[in-house]
Every structure is written in C-alpha cells, then in structure tokens.
Chain A
Amino acid sequence: MEGKAIKYGDNVDTDVIIPARFLNTSDPKELALHCMEDIDKDFKDKVKPGDIMIAGYNFGCGSSREHAPIAIKESGISCVIAKSFARIFYRNAINIGLPILECPDAASAIEDGDIVSVDLETGIIRDITKGIEFKSQPFPEFIKKIIECGGLINYVKEKVV
C-alpha cells in the first residue's frame, strides 16, 4: 500500500478521533464524516483513499469505542503507523482489520505530506519522498492468524461454525 502521510502528535485520544456526540450512530459512513474533526477539521476533505496516518505515542488512548478505528478505516486510511498504540485501540484495529504498525523511528522521521509505502508482510515502511526505509515490529503468530483471517469475526467463525 502507498499513500500520502497525514501526521499527528502524541496521545491522540478516541474522543478526538470520533467525538462522543456522534456516537448515537454506528454507521461507518456517518462516523467517517466526523473523523478527527476535533483536532483537524480539514481531515475529511484532505484524506484520500490509501493515505497513511502517522502518529506519536499512545495513539487511540481513552475510550474503547470501536467507532474510532471504524471511522479511520472508512475514511480511506490504509494503515496507521505510530510510536505506540493504546491497548484497546490496538486490539480493536486488529479485530476489525485496520492495519497498524508500531515503529517509533518511522513515526518520528516521516513528515506530513510525504509519500509512504508499507509492506505488511515484511513490516517494511518506506518514506519514498525522503528515500529512507524502516522495519516495524513483527506481529506475534496469533495476531498474524487473526489478520490473515481478515479479522476476529472470521477467525471465530472458522472455529465455531
């Protein structure tokens, strides 16, 4: 996957990813309309399918609302690269099939607007604009299995049905 980097700082919380005032719906399209609007009101206009979100430490902290990764995914973001993720956001993203990579070096170096490519198989992140390459932490086997199934629902379905 390849796209333009949209960069944010540390401790981006789920209240700004999708404010609670919009949680009276669970429709992904409606949620995407308000994604990030409390810290970046231009997000929904500038995001293009395939774009890659870059963030600092503790991305997705706060509420357990799965609406947050759903809104990000639905808005067209293909992957989130952060220095670290809050744990509930991390598992929610895995469970719904939003690719995320933890890579402090990449998250530091990549600047807003850079063209970035990601290979999820190898964990290689390339900043094409700058011509530099990073290697992210590989996923544990169990998590890889969930990703390969396309999310937790499919993983569980294979086991119970």
Chain B
Amino acid sequence: MGLTLTQKILSDKAGYEVKPGDLIEIDVDMVLGNDVTSPVAIKEFLKIGVKNVFDREKIALVPDHFVPNKDIKSAEQVNIVRKFAREYGIVNFFEVGKMGIEHALLPEKGLVLPGDVVIGADSHTCTYGAITCFSTGIGSTDMACAMATGKAWFKVPEAIRFNLKGKLNKWVSGKDVILYIIGMIGVDGALYKSMEFTGDISSLSIDDRFTIANMAIEAGAKNGIFDYDEITETYVKGRANRKYKVFKADEDADYVESYDIDLSKIKPQVAFPHLPENTKPIDEVGNIKVDQVVIGSCTNGRITDMEVTYEVLKGKKIHPDVRLIIFPATQDIYLECVKRGYIEEFIKAGAAVSTPTCGPCLGGHMGILAKGERAISTTNRNFVGRMGHTESEVYLASPAVAAASAIKGYIASPEEVV
C-alpha cells in the first residue's frame, strides 16, 4: 500500500519509508512557542544544559495570548520570553506592534513552507497544513527539547481522507466546512490521525484552508493537511526565501476512513455549547439572543474573514444590546483593513476593533463573558468557561454568521441582513 501525504513528508525526514504506528525522531524545520507555553519551555530548556539553541532562525517566539500585557503576571511571562530571545539571539521574536496571532503570522512571514515539519507549543499549530506541510501541536517540554536538539518524536499517524467536490455557496466558508465535518465525526473522530483534504479543492481559498486545518485539532487530529495546488503556490510565492519540497499522497495511499464531501451541500453551521461537535445548520438554530459577538482569532482573523465581515456590516448598525469585538489576526491584516476602509465601517457600525491578540478566544482578556452571558464567536472552542464565566455560553460560527448576528441581536443568517 502507498503512503498518505503526511506519511510521505515524515518518510522524507526519517530517511526511510515509515508506516503507521512507527515511532520516529526527526528533524524539525520550525519550533514555535507563545507567551503561555514558552516560559515553561524555557525553564525546561535551561535544565538540559546546552549552550545554544539548535538554530536561531528555526525558532519562532510569538507573545500573543495575553498581549498587550493584560496584567503584571502576564507581563512577567512575556519578559521571560523576551529576555530569552535576546540572550539566545532568536531571530523570529515578534514584539507587540509587529506581531500577530502566531498561526496567522508564521505563514504570512513565510516562516513555514510546504513540505516542512513544524511543531508548536500551541494546539492550533496544525493550521499550517493548509500549505501542505506537516505541522502539529506539542507541549512545552517537547518545545524545550526541540530548541536544544532540533528534533522531535512522533508516532506516524494513520489518515482519514476527505474527498471534496463541488463549490461553496454564497456565505458559506471554510469555517462551515470544518464545523460540518466535526459535527459528523465528533471531537475525537480523528484522534491521533491525520485529516487529509483532497479532491477538488479549487473553490477553497487559502484562508478557507487555514481555517479548516486550524480546527483539525477540534476533531482530535494530529494534523490537517491539504494537497498542493496553484492556490498554495500563489500564496507561498513571494513569501518563501528558501527552497521547499512539494509532496503528494501515493495514488494507492492507505486511509483508515474516507469521506466524500459535497461542498455545495453545506449550509452555514453553528456549534452549540459546550463542544465544537454540537453543530446545526443555520436554518435549524432557532431564536438565540446574543450579548457579544467576536470576530477574529487564529481561526478566522484573516483578510477574507475581514472582507466578508465588511460586506455584511457595511452601512449598518449593530444591535443596541450587542457588543461586537473585531480583531484582525496580524498587523499586516490590520493595516490592509485600514487601507481598504474596513475599519472605518466597523467602527461606524458600532464595533470595537482590537490589535491582534488571542485574548477573547480563550477567556484571557479583551472580551470576557459574565455569568449567564452568551456569545457567538468565530473562534475555535466553546468549552465550559472558555470565554469567561463557567455559566456563560459560546456558539461557534463563521464571520458572515457572526456579523449578521451582531446586527440582528440573535444568531442570524447573513441572508437576513444583506
């Protein structure tokens, strides 16, 4: 039997043909950490006793969770990362003002490329599979060891194939596709496995793909990965300043499961509390009032997300009982929104627009929910207490549905407002 796309990349690094279940130690092309996970990693790194990191250019440190620093304790955490970056000469340390949410930032800067093996001490590191690399979330100790040795251990995963066909309808996006899939297979439906997206992917923009790969972890997957095509090439070209390798799955690759997904059949999806698998199509949601709407994050803070938000909000006012928080995922995306006039329209509509931060998504800062409050959010998790009080609720949806809901004051389809 042939190899899946993920197995091809891992075989190349291992130097021999791997099979599912093999435990391998391989070189990594990029090691990522943020302000929550890096301080723990740095403490562990220092215990190893090496003089230098394995490669100053292959480590990215991105304080993004509690920045701009939300309190003294988080300021201290970021300072640990900042000092380490300076002392060890880490090239890719991103300070407030230049940073972005890590999973939007790294591909944007060309720091992760097709064919790479990337690990990050953040579960949504699986995002970069959108550009055909193997990338996966790991913990701080893994990060520490990789910073010292440039290596990480993996169990070679089996894969589930998602064979896509058809085109997305108006107001349907990558977010709806991944919520639909998680609703179908469940939050542990891809546990320890790769989710490989193949077939006719030509109607999925690169941003749709980032969103889909980003939430592979929400199905328990080790990684999510897309085939390489012209859309990938267009995105990567001009960002890459080193060579990269393009892999594809063998024709006779062995998948443990395979699903055919007709993109034209998918409606906008909403995931109800408290698991991303509790999905319903928008026409079955019913009347659910919301107090807060959040648009942004590593899942949905990219330029096409801002574009659709603009399209829905343009010339309108949000509901008087709703707080709308919009946070573009990187400084470049923010600047592009300014240039295109989006920010002016967002503010006129009644939105608060924030500098890039993970803050509201994980209940860190910049949009915490009180007891009994309800939010619809373009983020990735709706666990108990995720965005604030344990008796608050988070509903997950696309930017189009979130923006429409901000106008209506209840969870609404964009068709109701545009």
- Asked whether A and B interact, the reply is yes
Whether B383 contacts A87 by the Cβ 8 Å rule is: no
Whether B48 contacts A157 by the Cβ 8 Å rule is: yes
A69 and B141 CA atoms in complex are apart in Å by: 12
Whether B138 contacts A19 by the Cβ 8 Å rule is: no
Whether A64 contacts B138 by the Cβ 8 Å rule is: yes
A95 within 8 A of B: yes
Whether B49 contacts A151 by the Cβ 8 Å rule is: no
Chain A hits for B188, CB < 8 A:
11, 57-58, 61, 84, 86
Whether A58 contacts B191 by the Cβ 8 Å rule is: yes
Whether A15 contacts B138 by the Cβ 8 Å rule is: no
Whether A153 contacts B383 by the Cβ 8 Å rule is: no
A140 within 8 A of B: yes
Known contacts A21-B364, A95-B139; A142/B23 CB under 8 A: yes
Which one, B71, B121, B192, contacts A24 given CB within 8 A?
B71
Q: Chain B nearest CB: distance from A102 CB in Å? A: 11
A143 and B153 CA atoms in complex are apart in Å by: 10
Whether A84 contacts B141 by the Cβ 8 Å rule is: no
Interface membership of chain A positions 61-86, coded 1 if the CB is closer than 8 angstroms to chain B and 0 otherwise: 11111110110000000000000101
Whether A87 contacts B192 by the Cβ 8 Å rule is: yes
A11 and B219 CA atoms in complex are apart in Å by: 11
A156 and B153 CA atoms in complex are apart in Å by: 11
B122 within 8 A of A: yes
Known contacts A66-B141, A95-B139; A23/B48 CB under 8 A: no
Chain A hits for B44, CB < 8 A:
153
The bracket for how many chain B residues form the interface is: 35 or more
Q: How many inter-chain contacts with C-beta < 8 Å in the A-B complex?
A: 141
A159 within 8 A of B: yes
B408 within 8 A of A: no
Chain B hits for A61, CB < 8 A:
187-188, 220
A39 within 8 A of B: yes
Whether A160 contacts B139 by the Cβ 8 Å rule is: no
Chain A stretch 81-131: residues in CB contact (< 8 A) with chain B: 84, 86-88, 91-92, 95-96
Whether A88 contacts B384 by the Cβ 8 Å rule is: no
Chain B stretch 18-42: residues in CB contact (< 8 A) with chain A: 23, 36-37, 39-40
Which one, A20, A96, A140, A160, contacts B23 given CB within 8 A?
A140
Whether A24 contacts B74 by the Cβ 8 Å rule is: yes
Chain B hits for A86, CB < 8 A:
188, 191, 220
Known contacts A24-B71, A24-B77, A86-B188; A152/B385 CB under 8 A: no
Interface membership of chain B positions 43-75, coded 1 if the CB is closer than 8 angstroms to chain A and 0 otherwise: 110011110000000000000011000110110
Chain B hits for A20, CB < 8 A:
36, 65, 362-364, 386
Q: Chain A nearest CB: distance from B379 CB in Å? A: 12
A26 within 8 A of B: yes
Chain A hits for B400, CB < 8 A:
none
Chain A hits for B386, CB < 8 A:
15, 20
B381 within 8 A of A: yes
A65 and B140 CA atoms in complex are apart in Å by: 7
The bracket for how many chain A residues form the interface is: 35 or more
B376 within 8 A of A: no
B207 within 8 A of A: no
Central interface residue in A25, A91, A142, by most chain B CB within 10 Å: A91
Stretch at the interface among B89-97, B142-150, B313-321: B142-150
Chain A hits for B47, CB < 8 A:
153, 157
Closest to A25 in B: B73
B137 within 8 A of A: yes
Q: Chain B nearest CB: distance from A29 CB in Å? A: 14
A9 and B217 CA atoms in complex are apart in Å by: 20
A2 within 8 A of B: no
Whether B141 contacts A151 by the Cβ 8 Å rule is: yes
Whether B141 contacts A152 by the Cβ 8 Å rule is: yes
A38 within 8 A of B: yes
Which one, A11, A63, A160, contacts B48 given CB within 8 A?
A160
Whether A153 contacts B362 by the Cβ 8 Å rule is: no
Known contacts A25-B77, A64-B139, A95-B139; A15/B383 CB under 8 A: yes
Chain B hits for A16, CB < 8 A:
383-385
Which one, A15, A21, A152, contacts B381 given CB within 8 A?
A15
B241 within 8 A of A: no
Q: Chain B nearest CB: distance from A77 CB in Å? A: 17
20 pairs, CB–CB < 8 Å, chain A vs chain B: A13-B381, A20-B363, A24-B70, A25-B73, A26-B77, A61-B220, A63-B123, A64-B122, A64-B137, A66-B40, A88-B217, A91-B139, A92-B142, A96-B141, A142-B23, A152-B145, A157-B47, A159-B149, A160-B48, A160-B49
The 7 closest A-B pairs by CB, nearest first: A92-B139, A24-B73, A95-B141, A66-B139, A58-B188, A20-B362, A24-B74
Additional 6 contacts, C-beta under 8 A, given A92-B138, A95-B142: A20-B363, A63-B362, A87-B192, A87-B220, A88-B217, A143-B23
